[in-house]
Amino acid sequence: MACTTLLVAKGASANGSTIVARNEDCENGTFNPKKLVVVEPEDQPRLYTGVTSHLTMHLPDDPMRYLCVPNVDPSAGVWGEAGANAANVGMTATETITTNAQVLGADPLVAYDAATGTPGGIGEEDLVTIVLPYVHSAREGVERLGALLQQYGTYEENGIAFNDADEVWYLETIGGHHWIARRVPDGCYAIVPNQLGIDYFDLTDAFGDQDAFMCSADLVDWMKDNGLVPDGPMEGEVLYEGIPAVFNPRLCFGSDTWRDHVYNTPRAWYAMSILNPMDSYLGPDADWRPEDADLPWCREPEKRITLVDVKRVLDSHYQNTEYDPYGALGDEATRAHFRVIGINRTCETSAVEIRGDAPEALRAVDWVAMGSGPFNTFIPVYANVDVAPKYLATAPNVNCEQNYWQVRLIAAMADPEFYSNVSGLMEYQQATLGAGIAHVRKTDAGFDAVDDKDAEAYLAKANDEICATVNDATQKLLASVLFTRSLHMKNAFNMQDH
């Protein structure tokens, strides 16, 4: 799947929370309906089989309740994608990433063999289901997933993020069984656009205190055995078991092709231009260019990041540049040159926020946006509930009563006449985001008067209330876009035309 991930560590957000956010984008030519669900412990499988891999595994008998965003049609598997559990741990899985042939030759992917019936490894379809219900911290998420990767392998390259009230961790798979993980430094954000991104790794820490780095147990020997050792050592360089202790995984394990520079790196470049706007990004003397292979994985933002900033990044399409497909700058070639972040085939976006200063029951909020980013809005959903809002449940058939289908209809009609609808879209997004932020503040403030036994019902009611507010605004936007599009149908006729 083609996605874009934005991670916000403690100290980088405006309210002190941690955030793991990602667009889940369908493959070319597909539009995959998604729904928000709550999975209770009794509904969690104890024997799990992946559809893609045909791999069967036993799962622990002590799952927690969790919120996730699976496929409406289960025929291809669960694809839980993002959510938070009862321990207030968030997860997003996965960012499909790239690697190189040297890595795949050293540790091939573990694909299902139909001829022999040999199962494959684990993949995006499985990860939320087999990891999130069992972990009590972001660090535990890395440890459990790392152990599963080493045991079963994977059939694809992926990046997976976890957050709790204090930490954000990001794990990247390296070949079939190997992996590295880095904690996003406090005060920083990280952006990942379908490309192996971690650009700094410390082996001494990974095999020592693990303050900021973790990896598969045999990573060093595997690197040495397969010619994946970084260049060096340079004079005075610190070594770990004979290789540079600090190296750039992007150079050792990643890719750097022309496809990266039209599909992947421009998205990181534009996200940086939003979060660090004082740098220069356009012109021959720009600090950063969209094709640059050395765009940093993580940076300190120029101002602390809000949910509005997260939405702005993840629904962006190179506004105010010649690369904007809706823009007036450049020409037809430049406007189609780079793959945008807010693409038509985004099926959902989740920004899982864990708020350390909130009571335990309120800590996890999943800001959910269904459909394509330029045409949708974030809806804040408290995760510690026993039922998900019906507005986000998504029936298989097209209808005008649920958010996913509303946004799909708005996008399809508004896209051909974007600037005839853009004012209405911007007003809608500002109004609903503002309503969502105010709703969270109001719900938080009212929680002090709620008995513990009534907490889940209180939060479920709050989720339904904000969904009702968004539904009303979305219905009005849908009617406005429909009216605008109807005016310009080809079979229009007016006697004043003659």
Known catalytic residues? 3
In angstroms, the CA 288 to CA 270 distance is: 10
* Structure token pair of residue 157: 């390259």
| CA nearest neighbour of 266 among 220, 218, 334, 209 | 334
* Structure token pair of residue 63: 């799952």
β-strand pairing of 18-25 with 346-354? antiparallel
Contacts of 192 (CB under 8 A, 6+ apart): 4, 5, 7, 95, 97, 159, 170, 268, 297
| Amino acid in the structure at residue 472 | D
* Conformation bin of residue 229: beta by default, left when phi > 0, alpha when psi is -120 to 50: beta
In angstroms, the CA 100 to CA 98 distance is: 7
β-strand pairing of 364-370 with 66-68? unpaired
Omega before 108 cis (within 30°)? no
Share in percent of the chain as helix, strand, coil (round to 5): 35, 20, 45
Task: Decide: helix, strand or coil at residue 153.
Answer: coil
In angstroms, the CA 359 to CA 230 distance is: 46
Neighbour-count burial of 495, counting CB atoms closer than 10 A to its CB (0-12 exposed, 13-18 middle, 19+ buried): exposed
In angstroms, the CA 130 to CA 141 distance is: 10
In angstroms, the CA 77 to CA 271 distance is: 32
In angstroms, the CA 364 to CA 354 distance is: 5
Task: Decide: helix, strand or coil at residue 247.
Answer: strand
